[in-house]
Amino acid sequence: MTALDGAGLRSRVRRLLADHPPATTDRDDFLKARFDAGLAWVHYPPGLGGLDAPRSLQAVVDAELAAAGAPDNDPRRIGIGLGMAAPTILRFGTPEQKERFLRPLWTGEEVWCQLFSEPGAGSDLAALATRAVRDESSGDWIVNGQKVWTSSAHLARWAILIARTDPDVPKHRGISYFLCDMTDPGVEVRPLRQITGEAEFNEVFLTDVRIPDAHRLGETGEGWKIAQTTLMNERVSIGGARLPREGGMIGPVARAWRERPELRTRDLHGRLLTLWVEAEVTRLTGERLRQQLAQGQPGPEGSGIKLAFARLNQEISGLEVELLGEEGLLYSDWTLRRPELVDFTGRDAGYRYLRAKGNSIEGGTSEVLLNIVAERVLGLPAEPRTDKDVAWKDLAR
């Protein structure tokens, strides 16, 4: 295929708009047509929503379609599928798996969740105990176990799942990666009520869940290696989202400072300036990270940006509550609900303060990410690991 530039992509967008006018085309039909035209994620291969074009040119497509009033695929709602499942399936999936899963994932017809964390493993994900045992008569895998902190499990049609397939080898080597049907009768989703009052997360119980071998991603026992691709993409998607200046948490605080001079104090002024600069530096660092990502797979640097994101969100939301005083403690839309989206900036300061506490846990705890940055970015010596060569079944639990 001839290399595409911005002009070539604009021409393709115009053809899409002419054939499927947004004003008269059903939203789902338009999104499917966009995918089939290679304008979903332009850096993906032809036939899988892309054109093998440079990733940086996606912004050209998005801007042209937005100007024409075309619908998007509600990326925040399907963020787990877009940011974690899709790049993993693209890299390790079979042609049949890519053909089956990527199109409905991108259009939002099928929502995805991530079945990784477990109550008994904590931050040591490789210690997971969910078992997948091969049924020799059918070739299927029978999965039993429990997962926890699963965002969107109550909405999801599919899940990316890692499970232990060999307990007789060290913990990192006995894991396999699966695509799990969340409608299987053995899948039970229970809400977890969090500090905000909502049940955004879930615990998921897997009882004799049957997964066809055709839904195994990669080779048996390669699950940990494959999961690293998911986790690195997850950290970039959490901490490296594209934001305008004063986007994210810093925006509401800066607006309150400008619009309500009666709240200002000298002490808070200094802290706000410091956090504004740090937020801007983090935003620009995220832009640089996305440029690196456009050249290949995400690296451990994503752990650094996610670390900064978590710390800044917690410090900024704390400053906002102090700035607003008693008003900052109000939480007008406290409700016991099951949200589809996490919205940091469209809610009260009290919500932001509470929800930001989870930023240093989700997507890898800050303590674990500090180790990753130390070892893989700074090249510092790794911490001693006494369980490195011990079979999983022999580990103390």
Domain-wise residue ranges, the chain: 8-72, 81-220, 227-377
**Residue 235 clears pLDDT 70, i.e. is over it:** no
pLDDT recorded at residue 140: 98
pLDDT tens-digit map of 310-322: 999 999 999 999 9
Cα Rg of the chain (Å, integer): 22
**Residue 2 clears pLDDT 60, i.e. is over it:** no
**Cα→Cα distances 390→131, 165, 169, 210, 297, Å:** 18, 16, 7, 29, 31
Note if 234 is an active site residue: yes
**Residue 238 clears pLDDT 70, i.e. is over it:** no
pLDDT band for 305, please (50, 70, 90 cuts): confident
**Residue 327 clears pLDDT 50, i.e. is over it:** yes
pLDDT band for 217, please (50, 70, 90 cuts): very high
CATH number of 81-220: 2.40.110.10, 2.60.40.10, 1.10.645.10, 3.40.50.1370? Answer: 2.40.110.10
**Residue 181 clears pLDDT 90, i.e. is over it:** yes
pLDDT recorded at residue 26: 97
Q: What is the pTM of this model?
A: 0.88
pLDDT band for 1, please (50, 70, 90 cuts): very low
Distance CA 294, CA 291 (A): 5
pLDDT recorded at residue 335: 67
Nearest to 144, CA basis, from 100, 179, 187:
187
pLDDT band for 294, please (50, 70, 90 cuts): low
**Residue 252 clears pLDDT 60, i.e. is over it:** yes
How large is the average pLDDT for residues 169-189? 97
**Residue 103 clears pLDDT 70, i.e. is over it:** yes
pLDDT recorded at residue 296: 57
pLDDT tens-digit map of 341-387: 676 667 889 989 999 998 888 877 888 888 888 888 888 998 888 88
Catalytic residue among 200, 203, 234, 301: 234
pLDDT recorded at residue 52: 93
Say what percent of the chain tops pLDDT 70.
Answer: 91
Give the pair of three-digit tokens for residue 234.
Answer: 């997850």
pLDDT tens-digit map of 142-156: 999 999 999 999 999
Q: Domain 227-377, what fold?
A: Butyryl-CoA Dehydrogenase, subunit A; domain 3 (1.20.140)
pLDDT recorded at residue 14: 96
- Total residues found in the chain within this entry: 397
* Per-residue b or e along 163-202, where b marks 16 or more CB atoms closer than 10 Å to that residue's CB: bbbbeebbbbbbbbbbbbbbeeeebebebeeeebebbbbb
**Residue 158 clears pLDDT 90, i.e. is over it:** yes
pLDDT recorded at residue 255: 95
Distance CA 192, CA 201 (A): 5
Higher-confidence residue: 232 or 138?
Answer: 138
SS3 content of the chain, % helix, strand, coil (to 5): 45, 15, 40
Q: What is the DSSP string of 336-377?
A: ----SS--SSSS-HHHHHHHGGGGGTTTS-HHHHHHHIIIII
**Cα→Cα distances 251→137, 200, 307, 343, 347, Å:** 58, 24, 20, 14, 12
- How are beta strands 141-147 and 158-164 bridged, if at all? unpaired
**Residue 241 clears pLDDT 90, i.e. is over it:** no
Q: SS3 for 132?
A: strand
Higher-confidence residue: 309 or 47?
Answer: 47
Distance CA 280, CA 286 (A): 10
| Least confident piece of the model among 61-70, 231-240, 307-316, 379-388 | 231-240
Higher-confidence residue: 79 or 335?
Answer: 79
Q: Give me the sign of the Cα torsion angle 241, 244, 245, 250.
A: negative
| Least confident piece of the model among 29-43, 200-214, 357-371 | 357-371
How large is the average pLDDT for residues 73-88? 93
**Residue 86 clears pLDDT 60, i.e. is over it:** yes
